[in-house]
Structure 1
Amino acid sequence: MISKEIETFEQMIHMDIRKLQFNINKSKFKPKNLTPSEYKGYIQLKQDHDLVIKSADKGGGVVVLDREQYHQEAMRLLSDQSTYQILNTDPTNSIKELFSEFLQKGKDKGILNDREFKYLKVDHPRIPVFYHLPKLHKNNINPPGRPIVSGINSVSCKISEYIDHLLQPLVVKTSAYLKDTITVLHLLQDLTWEEGFLMATCDVSSLYTIISHEAGCEAVEFFLRQADVFVDEQVDFILKGIRLILHNNYFWYHDTYYLQTHGTAMGTRFAPSYANLFMAHWENSAVWTGHGWGSSLVLYKCYIDDILIIWKGTKVQLEDFISHLNHNPLGIKLEYNISCEQVNFLDLNLYVKEGHIETSTH
């Protein structure tokens, strides 16, 4: 757990940043790395309330969107009644009570000590806010959005952080786990490209919203018990905490309160770990167990919803393997690209040169 001293230090830094931002806004601050014409454009963009400026979902770019276009995509996402439900009132107080009761039970059972209890309890929660990041890699004219709920200082933020702290060690031990781009580079450095090899990248469509609460919690429980370091009461407490967050994942957008009824939103702290364990649990049966792919599957690695495959065999055989993966009861659907020359994975361009896979920034 993060100490109270670190938390206090973090709060002091945030206060200093807010003061700095206030002073910058009040002064005639001009960035030194902009030319006069660039600075003029910066001011015009800042003052144009008909535009929305967001980071691209992938690649680190900046996207400038018409506000109405951005709003229409948000409403398209939120109109999915199988995932989102409109609420008539602000549920913050009632949900806060549920989380307080949960933490008190954890303290009473000795699962949480006094310091942990105080840290995890949010007395003055903020209302989570919905936004989306444009997927330019899908469509650079009308990019679909990746839904995100910003839960900073929300009623569930500390508990989500606590759960993530417990799940992360389980995630890194899963068979297909990829930490980051650097890990990919190290893996490819040791791989010799042979004739008959193929590369494939797969993207799980809408991973965060397809995970049913039952399937996600089943996966987490499997890895918690497999780790053999948690007593039954701890496992039960962690699973109850996850379900509490999932069933009370509410947020605000455009003067309306919503509840997410299916899946978990990007934005809550434990979501990547939760999604990783869901994928790993599925891969245990779909990829690694008893399907005879071993001689062909040179490499299979997964970064949350992005999969990299190196395959020894024909394109038809690889397509059969991916088709096998796509036939599952969990709603997992892989969009894929196969090539013997080059593919894009995460922020890398992978290409074959002189018997090795070389990379460049994508």
Structure 2
Amino acid sequence: MTLPNTNIAGYLNYNYGQSTVQNYDDTKKAHERFQSLLLDLQFLKSCRSKDIIPKFLIFKTANNNLSSSSVYKDCQRRLLNVEINSKYRELNFYKNNYMFFLDELKKTIPENVLQHVSEYIKNRSDAVLFAKEKNLKEKMEAFEIYDDKIYRVDRNIVKNLSSRILTDEEIDCLAHGLDFGLIPKNVDDMDIISNIENFFSRVTDIFENHKKIASELKDNDKFIAADVRVLNTKELSLASSLRSITDSFRSQAHQFEKKQNRITIEQQNYRNILTNLRKDKLITIARPDKGRGIVILNKADYLSKIHTMLNDSSKFQCLTEDPTISRETKLRNLLNRLFNDGHISEAFRNRARSTGSLPGRLYGLPKTHKKDVPLRPVLSAIGTFNYGLAKSLTPILSTIIKKHNTIRDSFSFVKELLALPKSMSKYKMVSFDIASLYTNVPLNETIDIILEHLYDGDITPPVMDRKDMKKLLILATQNSHFLFDGKLYDQIDGVSMGSPLAPLLAEIFLQNFEKKYLSSLETMGIFYWKRFVDDTFVLIDSTSSVKDICNTLSQFHKSIKFTCEEEDRYTNKLPFLDVLVQRKPDEGFHTRIYRKPTFTGHITKWDSFVPKNYKYSALSTMVYRAIKICSSYDLLHRELNSIRSIARRNGYPSSLLNSIIRRQLDLLYTAPKPILPPPLTNDTVVFRVPYFGPLSQIYAKRITSTINKNYPLKQIRVILDVTERIGNSFTLKDPIPENMQSGVVYEATCPDCNMKYIGKTYRHYKTRIHEHLNDQKNDLCLKKIITKPISKKKNKKSILKPIIEQKGPVTRSQT
């Protein structure tokens, strides 16, 4: 039977009755209203993201001066939020109606007829809504926002490689990006208080001052408890001021919390979506290895790919016991011996030793640009037993690094390339890349190179013996264990993944490699050689064979293998780092910005709840790079247009980008400001503030101003913490086992008298429990230990409060 394309209602009435026609009409109206509301929401959200007030929210007041006040503007913004939430409620209502009437149609008409009717309804609504979409676009143009289309998220940045079928709402939510800031739902008072208390102690150096006061009291046969701090008059006055300012901020933050909980239905929808995705244990959500975006994988596939890598017995070994404490103790004993022998300073020992260290945690990032989507292993080594040692050795090893054949960044590369004589442009461009550099650096050979430079070179050797330095280097780069999927592994080959020394060791090895073989490069036809880590830009004789040169370089050392890429034979273009270089023989080189195929165009969204300076930096950084890298005005003009397109797709007002471009160009062509003398002190103190909008910035300014009056030599660095992001809902790292947690607050309760003892320790929880168990021998016995946590803080090192039941009194011991 041929289905009609016009009189659908008549066809349904003739074949299925009047009730079916009524369901058809209801379905059609609900669908059209639903699609119309979607356009309304996109328009209103676009207005909100660009801080534009629609005309229907411009109202008159008795006092005309009020229209320019902040209260009037705030009222308009709140009304806009209320209107958006109202549209969301109406949208959900008509969506449910549409699904209901569609289900009713399914009961009365066949599947093929239903499909035909659905397509007809969709096509008809598209035609009807086209005029509305055009009208909304004209409204935007009337606001002088030169957008090509109404701002909406780009669903293409979400790569779903899992078996789960995502809804449009889930894709739209994830398409905002893992870094998208959500409006905080709750105010964490303890976080605010602990931040200001820690900041106060750092600014006043209260612990150092306390030692002096305690020593003076001890000389006078007076003592104070170890957990009591004595403040002088200046410190008491500062503490009072900081408390008053912080209490005011907390009050404002709670008012912000109440207001947002009333008007942010959209954000609540996001949270519900993220909660449902997080509960699905069959999928893993991660960022891609290259570019910005979101990748959804089957959890089984993710684990299988990592386990396949870990099953390589030549590189990894599965451990049956946790070596964290034993390795931490070994390092501490070595540092104490070196300190007692006078070979290291107290500051070095304190930086290098660890207390309550954790195993590293391995995870993988999907390489979506490669076949079968392999995973790049990433090891989070922060907090491991040798992380502080590696950071402490960095200044010592940095003295070995020379800058002869290396480039610092893209800017220095372009500057040096454009300064070359034009005659150099007759040579062919090639880039060489070292395959898997970090995992192939020969560790023992590199350590020998370091020791030779430190003890046999021209520089003054370290105070410590050569063999002790070698022990420190081995401890810092080997013996690194990590956690994955609940199991512990040891890396038994190569430089430890995630070690802060890995880039430095690779650079030292490569510089030694170049020192040995650079003299033979010219005989191979190489006339220019500049390297950035493992990528090298080379100019060679046009008659030389690139493959022969690559093979020769790969034969110099068994651990280093090179790959190569030649310039395009037709355009003479070659990408290097983020620069696209074009060679024009005997005329010189031209450079412009290069973006890899993995670039998604995704940056911080304009409507992301993050500080405005973060968004400003997202654009100003791109503009600055364009000005510094583009070698001609024509190339710069093209790049600025590309940046405009990226900004529009992410919801940024055109006026903001234009102002940034003007400012950057003004800075380029204005005389540089005189160089200010360096500050009298480099003592910088970090102050972390949870971000609740402008009130957090005002709070930070008030605190900074107060500190500057009392401690003018202190440099304050404010960090506005975005407490809730989309990415916070998903983690790839294993949780640390409870007994290996450090920074623990625990409670001991006497079962006989119900008295409680609350203790804390910066060491491992199981170490402190073991000490309590040893107290049993002295009749300070613990009857039972319960490791149930009382509370945990998200996104930070978890602070557990295990309940410890005890028998008899327990005195506080040193932790």
Specify the TM-score bucket, using the shorter chain as the normaliser.
0.7 to 0.9
Q: Structure 1: which 5+ runs fail to align? A: 1-7, 13-18
Provide the C-alpha distance between the structure 2 equivalents of 1:196 and 1:203, rounded to a whole number of angstroms.
Answer: 23
Displacement of 1:117 in angstroms is: 1.4
Provide the C-alpha distance between the structure 2 equivalents of 1:133 and 1:62, rounded to a whole number of angstroms.
Answer: 11
Displacement of 1:282 in angstroms is: 1.5
SS at the partner of 2:528? strand
Could you say if the C-alpha distance between residues 177 and 106 of structure 1 is closer, same or farther in structure 2, counting changes exceeding 3 Å? farther
Say if 2:564 is the partner of 1:336.
yes
- 1:359 corresponds in structure 2 to 592
Identity in percent? 21
TM (normalized to structure 1)? 0.79
Could you say if the C-alpha distance between residues 295 and 256 of structure 1 is closer, same or farther in structure 2, counting changes exceeding 3 Å? closer
Could you say if the C-alpha distance between residues 113 and 266 of structure 1 is closer, same or farther in structure 2, counting changes exceeding 3 Å? same
- 2:629 corresponds in structure 1 to none
- 1:158 corresponds in structure 2 to 388
Could you say if the C-alpha distance between residues 182 and 292 of structure 1 is closer, same or farther in structure 2, counting changes exceeding 3 Å? closer
CA contact (8 A) 2:390 2:477 kept: no
Task: Please say which of residues 83-92 and 69-78 is displaced more in the overlay.
Answer: 69-78
Amino acid at match of 1:321: I
- 1:185 corresponds in structure 2 to 414
Provide the C-alpha distance between the structure 2 equivalents of 1:237 and 1:203, rounded to a whole number of angstroms.
Answer: 35
Once the two structures are superposed, the pairs formed by residues 192-271 of structure 1 within 5 Å of their partners are: 192=422, 194=424, 196-225=426-455, 226=457, 228-231=459-462, 233=464, 235-271=466-502
Amino acid at match of 1:222: E
Task: Please say which of residues 142-151 and 270-279 is displaced more in the overlay.
Answer: 142-151
Could you say if the C-alpha distance between residues 37 and 203 of structure 1 is closer, same or farther in structure 2, counting changes exceeding 3 Å? farther
Give per-residue Cα distances to partners, 1:52-87, cap 9 Å, x unaligned. 4444444x4234140333323322322222111111
CA contact (8 A) 1:188 1:357 kept: no
CA contact (8 A) 1:83 1:209 kept: no
Displacement of 1:48 in angstroms is: 5.3
Amino acid at match of 2:549: F
Displacement of 1:39 in angstroms is: 8.7
Could you say if the C-alpha distance between residues 133 and 121 of structure 1 is closer, same or farther in structure 2, counting changes exceeding 3 Å? same
Provide the C-alpha distance between the structure 2 equivalents of 1:84 and 1:313, rounded to a whole number of angstroms.
Answer: 45
- 2:553 corresponds in structure 1 to 325
Could you say if the C-alpha distance between residues 231 and 160 of structure 1 is closer, same or farther in structure 2, counting changes exceeding 3 Å? closer
Provide the C-alpha distance between the structure 2 equivalents of 1:202 and 1:295, rounded to a whole number of angstroms.
Answer: 14
Amino acid at match of 2:360: P
Provide the C-alpha distance between the structure 2 equivalents of 1:163 and 1:245, rounded to a whole number of angstroms.
Answer: 9
Task: Please say which of residues 34-43 and 346-355 is displaced more in the overlay.
Answer: 34-43
Task: Please say which of residues 270-279 and 46-55 is displaced more in the overlay.
Answer: 46-55
SS at the partner of 2:399? helix
2:578 to 319, 324, 347: 347
2:543 to 301, 306, 314: 314
Provide the C-alpha distance between the structure 1 equivalents of 2:470 and 2:426, rounded to a whole number of angstroms.
Answer: 45
Provide the C-alpha distance between the structure 1 equivalents of 2:306 and 2:200, rounded to a whole number of angstroms.
Answer: 32
Task: Please say which of residues 276-285 and 49-58 is displaced more in the overlay.
Answer: 49-58
Provide the C-alpha distance between the structure 1 equivalents of 2:582 and 2:267, rounded to a whole number of angstroms.
Answer: 37
Say if 2:375 is the partner of 1:145.
yes
Provide the C-alpha distance between the structure 2 equivalents of 1:350 and 1:10, rounded to a whole number of angstroms.
Answer: 51
Amino acid at match of 1:111: H
Give per-residue Cα distances to partners, 1:153-207, cap 9 Å, x unaligned. 1111110101122222322x14332322222222222134645422222221122
SS at the partner of 2:428? strand
Provide the C-alpha distance between the structure 2 equivalents of 1:279 and 1:39, rounded to a whole number of angstroms.
Answer: 48
Provide the C-alpha distance between the structure 2 equivalents of 1:133 and 1:227, rounded to a whole number of angstroms.
Answer: 43
Amino acid at match of 1:160: A
Provide the C-alpha distance between the structure 1 equivalents of 2:303 and 2:533, rounded to a whole number of angstroms.
Answer: 27
- 1:280 corresponds in structure 2 to 511
Provide the C-alpha distance between the structure 1 equivalents of 2:283 and 2:432, rounded to a whole number of angstroms.
Answer: 33
Could you say if the C-alpha distance between residues 348 and 268 of structure 1 is closer, same or farther in structure 2, counting changes exceeding 3 Å? same
- 1:175 corresponds in structure 2 to 404
Provide the C-alpha distance between the structure 2 equivalents of 1:199 and 1:40, rounded to a whole number of angstroms.
Answer: 53
Provide the C-alpha distance between the structure 2 equivalents of 1:208 and 1:10, rounded to a whole number of angstroms.
Answer: 41
CA contact (8 A) 2:317 2:489 kept: yes
1:88 to 320, 323, 329: 320
Give per-residue Cα distances to partners, 1:250-300, cap 9 Å, x unaligned. 1111111111111113411111001111111122212x13x2516832322
Could you say if the C-alpha distance between residues 299 and 250 of structure 1 is closer, same or farther in structure 2, counting changes exceeding 3 Å? same
Displacement of 1:124 in angstroms is: 0.8
Displacement of 1:49 in angstroms is: 4.8
CA contact (8 A) 1:223 1:277 kept: no
Displacement of 1:37 in angstroms is: 9.7
Provide the C-alpha distance between the structure 2 equivalents of 1:244 and 1:278, rounded to a whole number of angstroms.
Answer: 19
Displacement of 1:128 in angstroms is: 0.8
TM (normalized to structure 2)? 0.37
- 1:16 corresponds in structure 2 to none
Give per-residue Cα distances to partners, 1:215-255, cap 9 Å, x unaligned. 22123223334351324636544332121133311111111
Higher-Rg structure is 2
- 1:100 corresponds in structure 2 to 332
Amino acid at match of 2:412: T
Identify, as 1 or 2, the structure richer in strand: 1
SS at the partner of 1:122? coil
Provide the C-alpha distance between the structure 2 equivalents of 1:49 and 1:315, rounded to a whole number of angstroms.
Answer: 56
Once the two structures are superposed, the pairs formed by residues 48-67 of structure 1 within 5 Å of their partners are: 49-58=281-290, 60-66=291-297, 67=299
- 1:109 corresponds in structure 2 to 341
Task: Please say which of residues 98-107 and 296-305 is displaced more in the overlay.
Answer: 296-305
Amino acid at match of 2:498: G
Displacement of 1:132 in angstroms is: 2.8
SS at the partner of 1:90? coil
CA contact (8 A) 2:352 2:390 kept: no
Q: Structure 2: which 5+ runs fail to align? A: 1-197, 203-249, 596-815
Provide the C-alpha distance between the structure 1 equivalents of 2:314 and 2:351, rounded to a whole number of angstroms.
Answer: 34
- 1:15 corresponds in structure 2 to none
Say if 2:357 is the partner of 1:125.
yes
- 1:3 corresponds in structure 2 to none
Give per-residue Cα distances to partners, 1:311-353, cap 9 Å, x unaligned. 233241x332221110134321112111252233233333335
Give per-residue Cα distances to partners, 1:101-147, cap 9 Å, x unaligned. 2211221232222232123221110221112333455x1x4333332
Could you say if the C-alpha distance between residues 315 and 125 of structure 1 is closer, same or farther in structure 2, counting changes exceeding 3 Å? same
Provide the C-alpha distance between the structure 2 equivalents of 1:346 and 1:39, rounded to a whole number of angstroms.
Answer: 38
Provide the C-alpha distance between the structure 2 equivalents of 1:11 and 1:49, rounded to a whole number of angstroms.
Answer: 43
Identify, as 1 or 2, the structure richer in helix: 2
Higher normalized contact order (CA 8 Å, seq sep 6+, divided by chain length): 1
Provide the C-alpha distance between the structure 1 equivalents of 2:364 and 2:293, rounded to a whole number of angstroms.
Answer: 13
